[in-house]
Amino acid sequence: MSKHKFQTEVTQLLNLMIHSLYSNKEIFLRELISNASDALDKLNYLSLTDEKYKNIQYEPKITITADKKANTLTIEDSGIGMNEEDLINNLGTIAKSGTKSFVENLSGDAKKDSSLIGQFGVGFYSAFMVADKIEVLSKKAMEDDAYLWSSSADSDYSIKKAKKELHGTTITLHIKKDESEFLESYRLESIIKKYSNHIPFGIYMDKEEYIPSEEEGKEGTTEIKRTQINKASALWRVAKSAIKEDEYKDFYKQISHDSQDPFLWIHTKAEGTLEYSTLFYIPKNAPFDLFRVDYQPGVKLYVKRVFITDDDKELMPTYLRFIRGVIDAEDLPLNVSREILQQNRTLTAIKKASVKKILSELNKLKENEREKYTEFFKTFGKVLKEGLYSDYENKDALLDLMLFKSSKKDTLISLKEYKEDMKENQKSIYYITGENEAMLKNSPLIEQFKKQDIEVLLLDEEVDAIVIPTVFEYDKTPLKPVNHSDIDEEIKEDKEEVKEKEEKFAPLLVKMKEILKDEAKDVKISSRLSDSPSCLIYDKNDPDFQMQQMLKQMGQNNLPNIKPILEINPNHEILQKLSNIDDQTLLYDISFLLLDQAKMQEGMKIDDTISFAKRLNKFIAKSL
């Protein structure tokens, strides 16, 4: 027998399981059955595709046995099984990256905790919520040796060679005294039907069955019979009319390890040139790894009901990575490899059709149940926006799904709604990007738009700065940022008046350009300011500040020094007085103060804070 130490994260997790997580304990059975089903899936696939396994004899099933005398609950499967190395890797270590942050997340609300357990692939350990000792006896298919893994949830576990006639895994839980409800057959049956009804393999239990007597007047007898508890049907292949709402919800919980009901499901059966069935779900809450590069894909691929893979990120575009569900194709070979999958025309066609179907259903939701759709968009809109950058084929459909904050409304609006409210002579859809809604709503850049009652979209998510500049138009109307120089002509109220002011302030502009030549690309009279003295804009060919920040976060640190353009408000008191000042030192200080305050209003960093403070203090002292 060999002793092993648990990985640090496993020890932390076990401690939480035993001492902190008390809600929804019954999920341990769902997790263990799910693991057993995965083991059967793997062996089933190998028996159909690998010559070495083709003659293997086995009956794919899961058996659950409760022994009240021994105080044990046993979950047995006839699947692929595990050898010593597998036991160490699967039960002694959490292989997924991000484990530390996951364990930290588990320290919060217990209800939230238990719903995360299965999502992170650590469902096995949930059994320690009801058991003080667990034994795992396993024999890997096509191997001779069996091994017994054992732990009492302390800092270590043991593995020793053991005897087992057939391949597969038997998990024995030594149930805690105060958790005896999980030894009652009626309780176990209700859990199986609730969470595992559509596991594609039979789940069997010993049940008492009443046998009526053939003799009249004589009492019947009871017999213990091994009975299949679950339906073991592939729900996605059942006709929609024959499926109850609760069955859809329970199947979602089974495949997603989520304790909440799904937000929405989309069930499709296609016949004709392409034959396939799909059942897709949208969760209520974002999966914990939604914004991780190593996210776990949520769609399983089957071929004629035979499980093929559940870790292929090619089954859905990355901007739909929150989708959970099943694709079952009729016309793929069972031994299809991952490399072939990525180039397979049939699967590509199924994927295209599935994406269009999902986007179409989301659009229906937006049109018919706006409040519900808004709830979805607040959760997943940030991810959906990535598709505008990566999925040119569905760009128009995605644009119709976008919702935005507005300078004029408190509710989210679509581009279609924006267009319907456009001013008669308005040429473009205007937007502003930045760090937060409050700053954008009060930005000097939209003062003239407010004055003219022109709506501006407020884009305060990081992804906006990368994605929206790639959207050049919507329904033949250009999308333009308010901080680019090419909209000046569109928002000028009186071109003659502007021309006069440009002439009047020309000498001042020349001086300010010279003073700020190392900091600003140009200094111009503004058409967009009404209250503030200055603002920053960018040449239409230059990335603005938000875009530059995003590019740096993406590792592009060798960007050229892109200078902004300083626009000044000729109607502001400061500029009116400044045009008559001959004191060059004063003009120098004020020029930099106007530039620095414009930077601050856009959330930019002032490089020389000491000089800024000195200039500001100088003017405060003068005013006193």
Contact 482, 526 (CB under 8 A): no
Give start and end residues of each alpha helix (H) in 322-369.
338-343, 345-368
pLDDT tens digits, 505-519: 888 989 999 999 999
The pLDDT assigned to 583 comes to 85
The pLDDT assigned to 391 comes to 94
What domains appear along the chain, each with residue ranges and CATH number?
Answer: 2-228 (3.30.565.10), 235-373 (3.30.230.80), 401-489 (3.40.50.11260), 496-623 (1.20.120.790)
Taking residue 236's Cβ as centre, other Cβ atoms within 10 Å add up to: 23
- DSSP-based three-state secondary structure for 308: strand
The residue whose two tokens read 């199986």 is 192
Q: What span, in angstroms and rounded, lies between the C-alpha atoms of 484 and 545?
A: 11
The pLDDT assigned to 425 comes to 86
| Overall residue count recorded for the chain in this entry | 624
The helix, strand and coil proportions of the chain, stated in percent and rounded to the nearest 5, come to: 45, 20, 35
Q: What span, in angstroms and rounded, lies between the C-alpha atoms of 264 and 197?
A: 20
Backbone φ and ψ for 310, nearest 5 degrees, come out as -130, 15
DSSP category for residue 610: H
Contact 505, 579 (CB under 8 A): yes
The pLDDT assigned to 413 comes to 96
The pLDDT assigned to 460 comes to 92
Taking residue 396's Cβ as centre, other Cβ atoms within 10 Å add up to: 11
pLDDT tens digits, 480-501: 999 887 777 777 666 677 778 8
Q: What span, in angstroms and rounded, lies between the C-alpha atoms of 146 and 143?
A: 8
The pLDDT assigned to 555 comes to 67
In angstroms, the first-to-last Cα distance of the chain is 85
Contact 306, 291 (CB under 8 A): no
Q: Tell me which long-range contacts 6-10 makes (C-beta under 8 A, separation of at least 24).
A: 6/92, 6/151, 6/155, 6/156, 6/157, 7/92, 7/93, 7/94, 9/94, 9/99, 9/100, 9/102, 9/103, 10/92, 10/93, 10/94, 10/125
- DSSP-based three-state secondary structure for 414: coil
Answer whether 0.95 is exceeded by the pTM. no
Q: What span, in angstroms and rounded, lies between the C-alpha atoms of 548 and 324?
A: 35
- Three-point CA angle 434, 437, 441, nearest 5°: 95
Count CA atoms closer than 13 A to 305's CA, side-chain side: 11
The pLDDT assigned to 476 comes to 93
The ranges of the chain with pLDDT < 50 are 22, 97-99, 109-116, 120
